[in-house]
Structure 1
Amino acid sequence: MNYSSINEKTIDFTLSLPMLLNRSLDAIMPPYRDLFQEFGVTEQQWRVLRVLWEQKHLTSAQISNLTLLPSPSLVGILDRLERKDLVKRLRSTSDRREINITITNLGRELQSKVMPKVKLIQDQTREKLSPTEWKQINNILKKLDRIKIEEA
């Protein structure tokens, strides 16, 4: 980008951490979005499936926490995944107020089809960075994830 004709405030904005993170996400996500579309799921549905593939079952609150999806949005996402027969809701046997979400057989079939392609995309992304850079970026992003900025 040619910064010679851009004023200092614009440079500060374009080089701000939120903008750098957004541009990085925009650079990384297109192959994933294409893959999600190929399998008929949205990015948000993918996030839910991804965490459920790693757990036997989770509550809505746990899924919301792990996927960073707000609970009100999650209800609709789970409804759509349930209509696609990818997840099911089960009442807890120990606490009837608790509803657990679990993957169906069709959801597991989707996992076996999509995860090798996800790994390929991840490997292609990693090839763009040295092992040291990959470790550094992961450490920095984890550190940023732990930072809680106080409201002004």
Structure 2
Amino acid sequence: MKNVRPSVTLALLHAREALMTHFRPALNDIGLSEQQWRIIRILAQYGEIESTQLAEKACVLKPSLTGIIRRLSEMNLVLRRRGEQDQRYVYITLTTEGEEIFKKMSVEMEKRYQNIHQQIGDDRMSRLVDLLKELQKLKID
């Protein structure tokens, strides 16, 4: 075997996949994908938001976001509206049904987060979050 530097990006992907095993079953139960849930969470947090900003906050490519929003709209979970001054801008917001899904699921998701947090411990979880924030600062625009 060659002596190759360990891949931080691969380790992060494996860690993400391990964490998602805690959340996917609950999302599957209500028929939502991970990306759809991220969109719902962000809309619950920020309210109405322009689609480009939503894509950035959700770590979803803009072309993918279009399909995700279309499906969420068909499920009556989000509303789209064009900008009044500039029709090129699309603003997304949760419907009442979308807000209800978020409220219901956030309780379940919080239980799962707490379980993970207990396994990792307060100190290590805090250090992990701090390190991840430092890595985010390395982004090249």
**Normalising by the residue count of structure 1, what TM-score does the alignment of the two structures yield?**
0.85
- Equivalent of 1:85 in 52, 70, 76: 76
Amino acid aligned to 1:84: M
Q: Which residues of structure 1 form unaligned runs of 5+?
A: 1-6
- The farther-off stretch of 96-105 and 120-129 is 96-105
Match status 1:64 vs 2:31: no
Alignment of 1:135-150 (within 5 A): 135-148=126-139
2:15 corresponds to? 24
| Counterpart-to-counterpart distance in 2, 1:98 and 1:61 | 8
Higher percent of residues as helix: 2
In structure 2, stretches of 5+ residues that fail to align are none
Relative to structure 1, is the Cα distance of residues 26 and 99 closer, same or farther in structure 2, using a 3 angstrom cutoff?
closer
The residue aligned with 1:55 is 46
Q: Which has the larger radius of gyration?
A: 1
1:148/1:62 CA distance change after superposition, 3 Å: closer
Letter in structure 2 aligned against 1:130: G
Contact kept in structure 1, 2:51 and 2:89, CA below 8 Å: no
Shift of the alpha carbon at 1:8? 4.3
Question: Identity over the aligned pairs, expressed in percent?
Answer: 28
Amino acid at match of 1:144: L
Provide the residue aligned with 1:102 in structure 2.
93
Q: State the shift of 1:96 in Å.
A: 4.1
In the alignment, does 2:6 pair up with 1:35?
Answer: no
Deviation at residue 121 of structure 1 after TM alignment: 0.5
Runs of 4+ in structure 1 off by over 3 angstroms are 92-97
Q: CA deviation at 1:16?
A: 2.1
